[in-house]
Amino acid sequence: MVSAMPVPDVIPIAHEPGYRTDTIGRFEGGQFFASVTYAYRDGYTQAWGPREDHKHVFAVLHTFDAAGNHLGSDIWRAGTSGEQRRLQDSSPGDDPATRAEARLAQLLEALPGREYADIAVRPFQVEFDQVSFGLMIEQHGEDETEDNWVELYPDRLGFSEPWNGIYDT
């Protein structure tokens, strides 16, 4: 049996234009990972009410130094999927997804020397508005003593062997 390759200290993430790693790269201060993402608060159950009223829309910018250490996160909640559905018809352009995209564009514009490119960052975790954000080491193999997967939350992008930066969903 071939043993799994351990999780590296620094996780490569490939820039894929037009896909979910479209807004990652480097800037004068280091590296960044930006996205608009949807998430339920930690512990969400359907007993809280309609799913769409509890699925939140966030604009997220994580920054890292050149060595991949997490420097900080700018996370902004734009509303819920329920608001988005209701406002798309009555107030086009003022729905949470549109607001989140506009906020993300502002965050990216503020990064001096921004260029979209592959990055390599270390696992990290932050909490915001009762939602976990970060790049977290997980165990998905048969041997529960081996870490063999890294998941970006809440985006749900998974990284694993051969550690080439390509994600799985």
In a domain, 75, yes or no: yes
99 falls within a domain: yes
For 43-78, how does the pLDDT look when each residue is reduced to its tens digit (9 = 90+)?
Answer: 877 666 667 778 999 999 999 999 999 999 999 999
137, part of any domain:
no
H or E element, residue 99: helix 96-109
User: Which residues are within 8 A (CB) of 95 and not within 5 positions of it... i.e. 6 or more apart?
Assistant: 79, 83, 84, 87, 88
Of 4, 32, 31, 36, the residue nearest 20 (C-alpha): 36
The tally of domains found in the chain comes to: 1
Task: State residue 105's pLDDT score.
Answer: 98
Residue 144 within any structural domain of the chain: no
pTM of the predicted model as reported, rounded to 2 decimal places: 0.88
pLDDT at 63: 98
CA quadruple 80, 82, 85, 89: dihedral sign:
negative
Residue 169 lies in a domain: no
151 domain residue, yes or no: no
Residue 51 lies in a domain: yes
The tens digit of pLDDT for each residue in 140-153 reads 666 655 558 899 99
Residue 131 has pLDDT above 70, yes or no: yes
Does 83 map to a domain?
A: yes
What is the arithmetic mean of pLDDT over 97-121?
A: 97
Residue range(s) defining the domain that contains residue 45: 11-122
